Amino acid sequence: MTLKKESVDPALFALFTDLPRESVVEVEGSVHRSGKSRRGVELTPTSARVISRAESPLPLGVVDKVGAELATRLDHRTLDLRKPAVRAIFELRSSLLQALRTAYLRQGFLEVETPKLLRQGAEGGATLFPVEYFDQRAFLAQSPQLYKQMLIGAGLERVLEIAPAFRAEPSDTVRHITEFTSLDAEVGYIEGADDLRSILETVLVEAFRQVRRELEERGNPLAGDVPELSAPFPRIPFSTAEEWLGRPGAEADLGTEDEKAVGERAVREFGSPFYFIIDFPTRVKIHTFYAQRKDDNPRLTGYFDLDFRGLEIASGGPREHRYDRLVENIRTAGLDPALFPGYLEAFRFGMPPHGGWGFGVDRMVQMLAGLPNIREARLFPRDRYRLDP
């Protein structure tokens, strides 16, 4: 908008110069080309109406070059979201969700919705959020794990859910939040873990291609940060990762710094930002009761992680579909099978071999957008200290 005192009605000029930033106005005028404007046109106002006058001073700058602490930005999130650079993050997120959904549906998946209020969590333990449910106690869902397995038993064969999940972990890291978006998939009639990995990498190759194309069409500055992928992704046995770290046979899973070190070497050696870490030993990663152990080597699980440049993005593997072994696993985990009547019924009347994975949408957005903190990947993040706005 052109605002020159000599070419604008004095009353309009006084109105605009007195108006605080971020006020909402309705302006009429004449449009003409201009080489000085970023959009190539300028508006010379002839009339204006103030719809909403902003208070002054603003608690957070919108067009200022001066940065603000993340806590301040999140406290005043509606103003922060007005910044073009922040809006670009959520254009990327929207494109990613749409592209993933489309790619899964093309692979024959059925999108489903499962309950988020549960009598018992999928993984148990202290990471559950209890809630009052009339005269009972319930929990917020950590994942749709048990329900998506039940749906495989119902004959749906391939199911997909994109939904919120809740984990009461007292973590204050830059990659953990208590409410997150999980993309969960489950596949029936598999022969092994590689069936799952093949589907997952096919989906990601297609989805990333679509995201990059859409962001380029919109002129989003993050388009160039979406890599072009090709399948198959590298498979790195856990034992190889241990050797790279110089600690073969250790009794611990990969920590944050370990994942980064493995990621740097994996990208350097294979040239792919995505790679699978496979064949986790049971001595390192004790999976929950629904995880299937390898029959030919009970010291190994068929579970895998999908990492992106040193950060775990997805985790999954084959599930235990045999009723007796599943009940035994539940008891071994210190849980009572009587707490899972609906879940176990699905296994008593015929359950095919199946498996699946959970994919962290927020972490993927964080990595693609180059964000230092996962909280920036959500519109209104929740952690152990933040419950507002």
pLDDT in tens, 124-156: 566 899 999 999 999 999 999 999 999 999 999
Please provide the DSSP assignment of 135-170 as one string. Answer: TEEEEE-S-SHHHHHHHHHTT--EEEEEEEEE----
Active site residue 143: no
Active site residue 106: no
pLDDT in tens, 354-366: 999 999 999 999 9
Residue-level pLDDT at 184? 98
Active site residue 212: no
Residue-level pLDDT at 107? 98
Active site residue 217: no
pLDDT in tens, 200-227: 999 999 999 999 999 999 999 999 999 9
- When the pLDDT of each residue in the chain is averaged and rounded to a whole number, the result is 92
Checking DSSP bridges between strand 304-308 and strand 274-278, what pairing results, if any? antiparallel
Note the residue count of the chain: 389
Specify the DSSP element, H or E, that contains 278.
strand 274-278
Residue keyed to tokens 């994975």: 357
Residue 91: pLDDT band (50, 70, 90) is very high
Q: Is the dihedral of CA 189, 191, 193, 195 positive or negative?
A: negative
Q: Which of 76, 77, 175, 325 is catalytic?
A: 175
Domains of the chain with bracketed CATH? 5-57 (2.40.50.140), 84-377 (3.30.930.10)
What are the structure tokens assigned to 213, written together? 């194309």
pLDDT in tens, 235-266: 999 999 999 999 887 767 888 899 999 999 99
Specify the DSSP element, H or E, that contains 50.
strand 41-52
Active site residue 175: yes
Active site residue 171: no
Integer Cα distance of 288 and 124 in angstroms: 9
Integer Cα distance of 33 and 41 in angstroms: 4
